[in-house]
Amino acid sequence: MPATPSSPQPRAAVVYHPLKTELDELRRAVRRHERRAGWAPTSWYETDADDAGVAATRRAIADGASVVLASGGDGTVRAVAEALRGSGVPLAVVPQGTGNLLARNLGMPLGDIDTQVAAAFRGTNRPIDLGIVTITRPAAGDDPSVTSDGECSEHVFLVLAGMGLDARAIKATRATLKKRMGWLAYVDAGVRTLLKERPLRVHYSVNGSAAQPLTVYTVMIGNCGLLPGGVLLIPGAKIDDGMLDIVALKPLGMFSWLRIWHTITWENGVLRKRRAAAGEIDLVNGARSVSYLRAERYAVSVPQPEPIQLDGDDFGLALAASGRVDPGALIVRVLEEWAPAV
């Protein structure tokens, strides 16, 4: 919005990953749109390696940013969102990574920096939910490779948190292949992981219910459901409905992965235009290889340390993950012409 005689000029801030941002192009686009909007010169903050942009975003808020542009991969966007949670300062996404998960679910055009930047200066505000997760780490005695002391830490996620095959595959993804092939590198890691890994035994609870056992390939907590390649993992998931969607990929015989692939690529594609009966499917006793359950609160634990991932980033080893949805905790800037998936 333009300044009035009684109000100072609005000022944007850019929090950027230096290795993933086309900085010259981004600076040109920001200068162009800030001048058109009559805003003060934008402030720029490089992300720190140890926190992916949380501290930089907090500095931007303290300096009076009217909107924060997050430029980088999903890890940068997640970290900026974590710092913006509940602040009322909007997030504008400039997706520069491999998966670009939030951008896809918001219907943003990928590879069009000018349009992405335009949303920061002339877009509308859309409140969305955040997933909250508290990760319980193993103590050093539980695993020789672990140096932590069983501490707990709280984080946010925008799209998916998961334990099992997905987190193992992300941990196994080759950095060189990821740089060359983008999100297809996860497919390579997934196949290699599937060939050598066994299903995972978990205990889970939703909305404070008693914990129940379940054998899965992976269990994921979703805030929205569209993945790279147009794969709709969670039909009917909405990013602003005050609910999370729990997804379990279950081993049901030698053709489990064919059933899973059929469900995700075919059935979920057909269901895109109508709500899936997610809350009516029994996560434990259902006959499907892919099952869904909706909840406001959740808890998952495993008997041995397992990798955990948040929005496609490896978050180390965990013995448990629990949390809830934080409704409307983040404001994102969008353009009306975008066709959101959620």
CATH of the domain at 185: 2.60.200.40
Interatomic CA distance for residues 181 and 171, integer angstroms: 17
Range of the domain at 212: 131-327
Please check whether residues 94 and 146 belong to one and the same domain: no
Greatest extent of the chain over all pairs of C-alpha atoms, in Å? 71
- In a domain, residue 73? The reply is yes
Residues 72 and 138 both lie in one domain: no
Residue 135 and residue 25 share a domain: no
Which SS3 state, helix, strand or coil, does residue 76 take? Answer: helix
With left for phi above 0 and alpha for psi between -120 and 50, is residue 247 left, alpha or beta? Answer: beta
- Domain shared by 185 and 66, yes or no: no
Is 67 contained in some domain? yes
332 contact partners, CB below 8 Å, separation of at least 6: 90, 91, 92, 93, 102, 106, 125, 126, 128
Question: Do residue 321 and residue 189 come from a single domain?
Answer: yes
What residues form DSSP beta bridges with 320? 136, 301
- Judgement on whether residues 85 and 180 belong to the same structural domain of the protein: no
Domain boundary among 94, 122, 150: 122
Are 103 and 189 part of one and the same domain?
no
**313: number of Cβ within 10 Å:** 19
Calpha distance 163→135 (Å, rounded):
11
Domain count, the chain: 2
In-domain check, residue 86? yes
Q: Are residue 61 and residue 136 in the same domain, yes or no?
A: no
Decide if 6 is inside a domain.
no
Specify if 5 maps to a domain.
Answer: no
What contacts 109, CB < 8 A, 6 or more positions away? Answer: 115, 116, 338
Residue 205 domain-assigned (yes or no): yes
H helices present in 68-128, as ranges: 74-84, 101-106, 113-122
Residues 206 and 303 in one domain: yes
Q: Cβ distance 90 to 83 under 8 Å?
A: no
Residue 153 and residue 99 share a domain: no
Which CATH number covers residue 57?
Answer: 3.40.50.10330
pTM of the entire predicted model: 0.83
Final residue in a domain of this structure, among 66, 98, 122: 122
Tell me 266's DSSP state. Answer: I
Residuewise pLDDT in 10s, the chain (342 residues): 555 555 689 999 999 999 999 999 999 999 999 999 999 999 999 999 889 999 999 999 999 999 999 999 999 999 999 999 999 999 999 999 888 999 999 999 998 999 999 999 999 999 999 999 999 999 875 554 444 556 899 999 999 999 988 888 787 764 543 444 344 334 444 444 454 557 889 999 999 999 999 998 889 999 998 877 777 788 778 999 999 999 888 765 545 555 555 455 444 544 444 444 444 344 444 446 778 899 999 999 999 999 999 998 899 999 999 999 999 999 999 999 998 766
99, 122, 145: which is the final residue of a domain? 122
Instruction: Say if 235 falls within a structural domain.
Output: yes
12, β-bridge pairs: 67
Residues 20 and 154 in one domain: no
Co-location of 145 and 105 in the same domain: no
pLDDT confidence of residue 141? 58
Residue 279 included in any domain: yes
